[in-house]
Structure 1
Amino acid sequence: MNAVEIEQAITDLAAAPFDAAEFPYAFLEAFGNKATTLKKLRTGASNGSDIPGGVLQRSNIHIATCPAGEVDATLQALRASPKTQAAKAKFILATDGADFQAEELATGETVACQYADFPNHFGLFLPLAGITTVKQIRESTFDIRATSRLNKLYVELLKDNPDWAAAERRADMNHFMARLIFCFFAEDTDIFNGQGLFTATVDRMSERDSSNTHEVISTIFKAMDTPTRHEGKLDDRYRKAAGTPRWADVFPYVNGQLFSGSTDVPRFSRIARSYLIQIGNLDWQKINPDIFGSMIQAVADDDERSALGMHYTSVPNILKVLNPLFLDDLRAALEEAGDNPRKLLNLRNRMARIRVFDPACGSGNFLVIAYKQMREIEAAINARRGEPDRKSVIPATNFRGIELRPFPAEIARLALIIAEFQCDVLYRGQKEALADFLPLDSQNWITCGNALRIDWLSLCPPTGKGVKVHGDDLFNTPLNQTEIDFENEGGETYICGNPPYLGNTWQSPEQKADIRDVLAGRSKSSGFLDYVSGWFIKAADWLNHVQGAAAFVSTNSICQGQSVPILWPVIFNAGCQIRFAHRSFKWANLASNKAGVTVAIIGICPTSTAACSLFESGAQGEVIAREGPSITPYLTLGETVIVEKRSAPNGDLAIMEFGNKPSDGGHLLLSRDDLKGLKLNATQQMKFTRRIYGSENFINGGERLCLWIEDEFLDEALSIDAIRQRIEAVRQVRLASPDKGANALARRAHQLKLMRIGQQHTIVVPAISSEQRPFLPVGVVDQHSTVSNKCYALYDAPLWNMALIASRLHWVWIGTVCVRMRTDFSYSNTLGWNTFPVPKLTEQNKADLTRCAEDILLAREAHFPATIADLYDPEKMPENLRHAHERNDEVLERIYIGRRFKNDTERLEKLFDLYTKMTGGKNAA
């Protein structure tokens, strides 16, 4: 279940008659527990509670219902219960149907409210559904509740108005929803003259059967688009000319083109009207635009509605981008200014000219947070200068964005309007905020279009140049440009955001064309780049003309593997450097089970001599910052180098080759049952078959075999009818192939495409393996086994080569320079093994490493028949195997630097330093 579904289930539970016996199970069901789980709790099979009326779910919650007036005592008993601690319960909860109390045991955070109000606190319990919560969600469950109700209304309206669901009218529907959201906010914040004015008017003036609801709302919208002043003075001539009825005349003139144009409203059913009233009765003063926007955008997106309520980017994550990009510098300037009025004024004037530009703005999260943070700094300046009520000099039009989809673009504009009003209330007071709020400014600063097709200089030009590109309608602009008409002399512009990632496999033809065009004339290898790369290239080009810097959240894959030599030379050749970066971490959203993608934050700016900052998360989640003269494309401190494929390994490392590609239509590969069907004797089995390993069965176990027929034994093999039939089937498959190489292989249909095998042994490296394991899966097979093209092999190589591959050093290198398949490692001999920097090894070094490899193999053998997957599960790795790897790492790392490395970052920096020396610096950027 997602957060919105949980909120609805909890609300329904609170509204139903209280059933003391049933409540614990209904509560758990609301958080997604399955019927089988609840059945076990009901029967006592998994209920470990020692409290009367209690239900204890291990690792989750201890709940108890109690007689009236005993909630305090019951919660105390739950807290003191030895069963609560033994079961590692995260929460305790007690209720008598009138009062409700709960506590999160790890943090001590509590809830104490009337029973009917507990849905307002449901965010505390989201971890019960496997959803990682953040402070903003716990403090304001309003946004999820409002999103849930708006989604119901949206779906109901589309059901009743199928023409509005069509593509040509979907923009009208989205525009209507944006108007409603503004009305709900305005009526609860005194922007309208009267608390609840909009909802109350619709309720009073529309029929209960909803037959005229659309007409009432349309009339209100027309009123808000009709001026109430003439030449600056109150004047009713426009309202009279428009025929505005008295009951609608109480609504103010909003302007800003939010209500201009068509005032068509979809027809309402009785249910839809009821939903509208329910939504209006929520307290919209609690709206948080930096949460709400990213949730509400899913309402209008058919593809995203199934994930409704999961789309939330936390403020701390956004600040990982904005703080080092420019906010830290502003705060440092504030600190340096102290109480000096002149310095404070200069800083305020500087901030008035700063532009923040998000060319993939979605519902405006980054712009809203940037605006709110800058207003906070400005408020501090005004307070120190004795001007606390001063009107802000930071214009919302300096917070600009591009968004491909119309509805999120509208929500982004609306979120900024709401954020501006809330900041005015917070820093200047309600009276001053209201005085300056209406009518809205008609300037349009969010563009709807394809960011990789739009000229960014047309939206954020060099300072001193104005922009005047006209759009039709501020809140309904399916244009590729925007309407701004002013200058920004001498200001800085900062680009930020979280663009779409999309690896090449998932890009549409249009998106592939976008990347090709952005790279035109600079590289022919655009097919290897993630879609987000286009934003970095556009930003680097833009920085050639405008004072500023750029930072994006990106998949970490643009700093790994074959993307690096394609993308980063383009960035560097455009005159930019990596100014700061936050190394890989999980960019989580509000989805269950901590869903998220591994990302990096990368900030670029024109090349300078200033120190660069590299951030990474420590073991306890703290952020560790280091500085250096430069940051490499692999997000390490040091001289910038780019690792490129090599045809041969470094020094005296063994040659690593591909395994054997069958190209056989499956006829040379055998299961154990297939082997029995051949009816071979023991001698024939030894002569004509081999075990064959691919990545999957090498790691997870399972037996596969193949026919292995040397030319000298072909006649004997053909004399066996079952083998001859398989060989003929291979021949037909290869002859039927459109590939000429496969046709040629038909001449030796008795063999795999390649026939490589070790005479004594083979060191095997799976091509694909999980990054969750602390070491790469590598092993040794005997001379009667071979590998498929899903593995790499070192045939008859000295065993010390395995010790290198099994090391943490090699794990770090492969994870950085090789390609990823989602979050899995995709091993490469030319990019991973052949480039691996190894110091000159003495014979004693090799002997020590050989012993380490043998110890690893012996430790595994002690746990036979456990598989690689079993043995290298991070939570279950046997102690003797872990110790063998630790010893291997210690021996190898002492060869590199005479001691153990402190962490993976230090490992990488040493490896890149050695790589630079190994290549003679020719790969330096």
Structure 2
Amino acid sequence: MEVEATRAAAARLSSLAARLRRRTGEPERVARFLIRCTFTLIAEALGLAARGGMAALVGRAIAAPDGFAAALGELWAALIWPGEAAALVATPALALRRGELVELYALTEAPWGEIDPVIFGDLLLGALGPGERRRLGAHFTPRAYVERLVALVVDEPLRADWARVQDETLALRSRDEAPAAGRAVRAFLAELAAVRVLDPACGAGNFLVVAHESLRRLEDEVLSFLGADCRESAERAVTPAQMIGIDRSGWTCEVARLVLWIAGLRAGPRGASQRATIVHADALLSPWPPATFVAGNPPFLGKSRLRASLGESYVARLRACYDSAVPESADLVMYWWHRAATLLESGQLRRFGLVTTNSVTQIYNRRVIEGFLRRGAIHLVGAIADHPWVDGPRGAAVRIAMTVAAAGRGDGRCIRVRAGGDEAVERGIISADLRVGVELASARRLLANGGLAGAGVMLGGRGFLLPASAGQESGYVRPIVNGRDVLQRSREVRVIDFTGLSEAAARSAAPAAFERLVAAVQPERARNSRAGRRERYWQFAETMPTTRRTIAGLSRYIVTPETAKHRVFVFVDGAVVPEHPLLAIALDDAFHLAVLSSQIHRLWARANGGTLADRPRYNKSVCFETFPFPACEPEPRAELAALGERLEACRRRLAAAGWTITAMYNAPPAELQAVHAEIDHRVAGAYALAGDGSEAAVLSGLLALNHRRAAEEQAGAIRWLRPR
């Protein structure tokens, strides 16, 4: 019932807010007015003000709208607000028209006593936010998701403490030391009252509300035990004042204060009079208040969007503040992770847990985690590598990871959410890739694989592209493919490629193609903030010279999209230019294509490369350069090469019949399944691994082989993948 009531109330707020914003053009004033109205209605529902006062006032005003603002002002002046509500005293009443009053009256009939503060904050941000980011009511982060993290961070260690206190108390009572038993329980109650929970990116305050509720439930149990087993009583001590939030948005801070005020009201008079500390600040650049636990959901912002979203100067300050402790290629959330881990490592926190995007397992993000785990001062006590989530007021459905850390060394629980929603739990030492038992971070890059894989070019302007019918003018107009061409339908385009030529040489070599770039690329490049791209407009933004040199001279080479639902490897013609985000692998032997296409390699790639949203990501340094190819005798090697050719031929036949690569692997036809099954069987045999071996066994075997190969290479024996 709470979810439906909360959604309905927020939807009505959204409708009225939108109407008032359109009329007044003052979104901030409208938002504050409606928040104060919300305070009033909740206070009435929970008995802190006379019930029905607001409804009666609005009902009278519908007949005489001119007197509404003054009457509401008098009502607000007569109310004595406890705690945080006093902050809204300066908010004046808005003069409303009759239709607006009718909408407000409908709001007074909502069941405000049933509002769930955990989801109300998210919905309120959308309802009253000045930007009106989305239609309200469709999305909020489910309470159960927030509760899951708070249970691991806050509830679990405190309940372990309480279990020890109970054992101590029962032991004391068995020795007829009842006063000492009572003191032990009271001491624990004092410890609960001293707990501080910090959310350094608090948003609407969801995690703080759930943490407050968690402390209250435990306090209830302790008080009950004190009365039943110790024959003593004590006053409640847990209040919202133990909750601390930080947020960059002043508006969001106001919503968080309201949400925590609601939570306090629901907890009783003492809770209503004690306010949480919500700090309007940048948590990445300012000190964090002292806390026992940290739990939260920092902003989801990938490394490629940092400058565009936050600005060059802010990113420069951020980099300077952290002095390279966080890799420049890491996502923004890893700065929060580093900050929390630093506090934990120094003894200033007991435990922390953060929600991050599931790209935390990608190499540049997990390096932050690896550094702390390697030193041994902290360990992961809980991890979920892939979990559904809703990204706050934007309502975006994403896949996230949860990581919970405590001080020292130790084991943890790694939870895998399977298709269909059921879960598997593994216990043991959790590594930075959020796995138990296989320390893949220790895999070494192999010299044998080095220099063979590279990213495709980045054009930096669609003006480089021409239709396939365009001539090849002196060889400078070439075929090009990107990930979409490989996985879906080919664009059938060519690219003007002046890589390595000066402006004069390019103009001379292919005048018509050069003039195309002057008209279609130079105006766009003239606005580019990077001088090199502005000045060398006839060149690709990133020419990837190493990749181009490596594939040069090959009649064909292997490509795979960096991020894709299905990990596929295909051959392309040697004359084709690979475009980012396609990864080029400079191997033309179908033996390598077969091994890369096997289930064994897919397991290695997925485990090492991490994911972006719900799509596996292939990182050349940890997926390809660490992968130990099997050492095959000539006959089995030739058999695998024949299977690689058979795989290519099968996919070409299917493509000719209208299948895309994505369609082939979404619902593989029988002939494709058959060739992959044979590849999987032969590759498993080449490694002497059972075809039905567990994922952990396969990864452990590959990791051990990687270590042996690395040792061989140190001794000078290198099994080059491509003859030198």
TM range (shorter): 0.7 to 0.9
Deviation at 1:670, TM superposition (A): 5.9
Structure 1 residues 906 and 298: alpha-carbon distance in aligned structure 2, compared to 1, 3 A threshold: farther
Deviations 1:782-837 (A, max 9, x none): 67x53434444455632211122212343344445458776655645445322223
Structure 1 residues 661 and 870: alpha-carbon distance in aligned structure 2, compared to 1, 3 A threshold: closer
Partner of 1:142: 5
Structure 2 SS opposite 1:258: helix
Deviations 1:832-874 (A, max 9, x none): 3222234544445534432432342343244241567345555
- Alignment counterpart, residue 399 of structure 1, candidates 233, 239, 243: 243
- Alignment counterpart, residue 215 of structure 2, candidates 353, 368, 374: 374
Instruction: Establish whether residue 216 from structure 1 lines up as the match of residue 71 from structure 2.
Output: yes
Deviation at 1:175, TM superposition (A): 3.7
Instruction: Establish whether residue 497 from structure 1 lines up as the match of residue 296 from structure 2.
Output: yes
Deviation at 1:306, TM superposition (A): 1.7
Structure 1 SS opposite 2:382: strand
Structure 1 residues 188 and 724: alpha-carbon distance in aligned structure 2, compared to 1, 3 A threshold: closer
Structure 2 SS opposite 1:579: strand
Partner of 1:258: 86
- Alignment counterpart, residue 56 of structure 2, candidates 196, 200, 207: 200
Structure 2 SS opposite 1:222: helix
What is the CA–CA distance in structure 1 between the aligned matches of 2:219 and 2:378, rounded to whole Å? 30
What is the CA–CA distance in structure 1 between the aligned matches of 2:681 and 2:236, rounded to whole Å? 59
Structure 1 residues 846 and 391: alpha-carbon distance in aligned structure 2, compared to 1, 3 A threshold: farther
- Aligned residue runs from structure 1 range 767-782, under 5 A: 767-770=561-564, 772-773=565-566, 776-781=567-572
- Aligned residue runs from structure 1 range 3-152, under 5 A: 140-152=3-15
Is the 2:560–2:570 contact (alpha carbons within 8 Å) kept by the matching residues of 1?
A: no
- Aligned residue runs from structure 1 range 143-182, under 5 A: 143-162=6-25, 164-165=26-27, 170=28, 173-182=30-39
Structure 1 residues 615 and 754: alpha-carbon distance in aligned structure 2, compared to 1, 3 A threshold: closer
Structure 2 SS opposite 1:837: coil
What is the CA–CA distance in structure 1 between the aligned matches of 2:495 and 2:335, rounded to whole Å? 45
Instruction: Establish whether residue 582 from structure 1 lines up as the match of residue 372 from structure 2.
Output: no
Deviations 1:296-347 (A, max 9, x none): 1212223354242244111221133122223234445556738948475555
Instruction: Establish whether residue 695 from structure 1 lines up as the match of residue 487 from structure 2.
Output: no
Structure 1 residues 782 and 874: alpha-carbon distance in aligned structure 2, compared to 1, 3 A threshold: closer
| Higher relative contact order structure (alpha carbons within 8 Å, sequence separation ≥ 6) | 2
What is the CA–CA distance in structure 1 between the aligned matches of 2:585 and 2:614, rounded to whole Å? 25
What is the CA–CA distance in structure 2 between the aligned matches of 1:611 and 1:663, rounded to whole Å? 47
Structure 1 SS opposite 2:134: helix
Deviations 1:631-683 (A, max 9, x none): 22211224756479958444xx993456688999977x7644324x98xxxxx
Deviations 1:679-716 (A, max 9, x none): xxxxx9xx99975544332332434467999xxxxxxx
What is the CA–CA distance in structure 1 between the aligned matches of 2:91 and 2:460, rounded to whole Å? 65
Partner of 2:576: 786
- Alignment counterpart, residue 289 of structure 1, candidates 113, 117, 135: 117
- Alignment counterpart, residue 414 of structure 1, candidates 248, 254, 258: 258
What is the CA–CA distance in structure 2 between the aligned matches of 1:551 and 1:401, rounded to whole Å? 15
What is the CA–CA distance in structure 1 between the aligned matches of 2:612 and 2:517, rounded to whole Å? 33
Is the 1:762–1:793 contact (alpha carbons within 8 Å) kept by the matching residues of 2?
A: no
CA RMSD, 1 decimal: 4.4
Instruction: Establish whether residue 626 from structure 1 lines up as the match of residue 426 from structure 2.
Output: yes
Number of residue pairs matched?
A: 671
Is the 1:360–1:403 contact (alpha carbons within 8 Å) kept by the matching residues of 2?
A: yes
Structure 2 counterpart of 1:452, one-letter code: L
Is the 1:777–1:868 contact (alpha carbons within 8 Å) kept by the matching residues of 2?
A: no
What is the CA–CA distance in structure 1 between the aligned matches of 2:630 and 2:196, rounded to whole Å? 50
What is the CA–CA distance in structure 2 between the aligned matches of 1:299 and 1:542, rounded to whole Å? 36
Instruction: Establish whether residue 553 from structure 1 lines up as the match of residue 335 from structure 2.
Output: no
Q: By percentage of residues, which structure has more helix? A: 2
Partner of 1:364: 205
Deviations 1:530-580 (A, max 9, x none): 111111111122221424111100012232033333664267569433332
Structure 2 counterpart of 1:763, one-letter code: Y
What is the CA–CA distance in structure 2 between the aligned matches of 1:411 and 1:660, rounded to whole Å? 46
What is the CA–CA distance in structure 2 between the aligned matches of 1:700 and 1:332, rounded to whole Å? 53
Structure 2 SS opposite 1:221: helix
Partner of 1:519: 322
What is the CA–CA distance in structure 2 between the aligned matches of 1:903 and 1:188, rounded to whole Å? 57
- Alignment counterpart, residue 671 of structure 2, candidates 880, 896, 899: 880
What is the CA–CA distance in structure 2 between the aligned matches of 1:662 and 1:591, rounded to whole Å? 35
Structure 2 SS opposite 1:673: coil
Deviation at 1:255, TM superposition (A): 5.1
Structure 1 counterpart of 2:389, one-letter code: W
Structure 2 SS opposite 1:859: helix
TM-score scaled by length of structure 1: 0.63
Is the 1:852–1:888 contact (alpha carbons within 8 Å) kept by the matching residues of 2?
A: yes
- Alignment counterpart, residue 460 of structure 1, candidates 290, 294, 301: 290
Structure 2 SS opposite 1:765: strand
Deviation at 1:588, TM superposition (A): 3.6
Structure 1 SS opposite 2:217: helix
What is the CA–CA distance in structure 2 between the aligned matches of 1:728 and 1:187, rounded to whole Å? 73
- Alignment counterpart, residue 189 of structure 1, candidates 23, 46, 51: 46
Deviations 1:854-902 (A, max 9, x none): 3423432442415673455554221221232233233334544621365
Partner of 2:469: 673
Structure 2 counterpart of 1:140, one-letter code: V
Structure 1 SS opposite 2:223: helix
Instruction: Establish whether residue 301 from structure 1 lines up as the match of residue 129 from structure 2.
Output: yes
Deviations 1:427-475 (A, max 9, x none): xxxxxx45x566x23x55121221112211xx226xxxxxxxxxxxxxx
Which structure: larger Rg?
Answer: 1
Partner of 2:690: 899
What is the CA–CA distance in structure 2 between the aligned matches of 1:868 and 1:319, rounded to whole Å? 45
Percent identical pairs in the alignment equals 20
TM-score scaled by length of structure 2: 0.79
Is the 1:560–1:816 contact (alpha carbons within 8 Å) kept by the matching residues of 2?
A: no
Deviation at 1:280, TM superposition (A): 0.9
Structure 2 counterpart of 1:551, one-letter code: G
